[in-house]
Amino acid sequence: MRANVTVLALHRHEGEPLEYEDAVWIGDGAGRGFLTPAGPACRRARVDRPGALRVALADGAAESLLARRWAELLVRACGAAPTPLLCGGTGFADVLARAADRWPDLTRRYLVERDRRGMPVQPYELRKLTRGAHASAVLAAHLAPHPWLSGRGQWAAAVLGDAYLFQVRGDRLWRVFPTSRRVDVATSNGADPAAVARRVRCARGTWTDRDLLYVANDTAGAWFLRTALAGGRPWEELREPAASGPSELARWVAARRRAGVLADGDLTLVRVDSTIGPPRLPATSTSDAEPALAAEVLPAPPGSTTAGPRAGAR
């Protein structure tokens, strides 16, 4: 399949760029992919290989120490997981549990690094580390072309907590997953997988090469859904900031925050514009030596602390 993937990301109101706590992973069915940078950044990727596209988003809880690193562990695990694990709560809970298994090693390396830099961890920080890190949402979506029908595909998604997948077809919001908000956390301290499994929501669907898909955290998702339910077209509203880059995204977000229609938290939105079917590429670009996806980092203007893509939106 071929797809253009665009990530819009901006730190919370009155926060610092590097306090952005969400994580996004984009890759293919072989587990090859990339994390978006820790700070606000413009990022877009074009997937040019047959096979699956995977998008994972985790919303790190700002009150946790190392929330961003925990979110990164989660999205890497979700991106590499076999797709069938997204089709049931038990499987997805096992994926999150495997990420939690790596948390002790991460914290040990963090403590060593702090000592090496002459900045030992303070008692209050150690207490936070002992409590573990948390993410208020984890959503993974795997997308693949149909085995034999050109221009059609299938997707599978699983979510714990408050995040969304939106499917836009033509000029209407075609599908929303999940259909209701649910406050929850994914904790690094190894919650009971059976209890987590009961709270996971899963869905499967089909899509066509006319569709747009969006994966959103709670801040972006609440605005998107509220706007659509009021008769608006949030995908159209996103066209200008997505096409203009980071400065325009910052102005776009600031205007909506002032109007009270967009919350002040970190904003993360991933847009997938797909063309499913035989890749229309030169033969040399399908070599196994080629990267799974070609990613481009678009630098922000001098002095900018905001993020957004330069890729066009329709």
In sequence order, which residues have a C-beta less than 8 Å from that of residue 84 and are 6 or more positions away? 91
Sign of CA dihedral 121, 126, 130, 132: negative
Look at residue 110 and give its three-state secondary structure. helix
In sequence order, which residues have a C-beta less than 8 Å from that of residue 195 and are 6 or more positions away? none
Parallel, antiparallel, or unpaired: how do β-strands 2-10 and 201-208 relate?
unpaired
Encoding tokens for residue 141?
Answer: 């979506």
pTM of the model: 0.83
CA dihedral 41, 81, 199, 167 (to 10 degrees): 60
- Distance, in Å, from the CA atom of 85 to the CA atom of 78, rounded to the nearest integer, reads 9
The amino acid at 75: V
Low-confidence ranges of the chain (pLDDT < 50): 276-314
172: exposed, middle or buried (C-beta count within 10 Å: 0-12, 13-18, 19+)? exposed
- Distance, in Å, from the CA atom of 251 to the CA atom of 63, rounded to the nearest integer, reads 27
84: exposed, middle or buried (C-beta count within 10 Å: 0-12, 13-18, 19+)? exposed
Phi, psi of 159 (to 5 degrees): -145, 145
Helices (H) and strands (E) in the chain, counts: 9, 14
CB 161 within 8 A of CB 186: yes
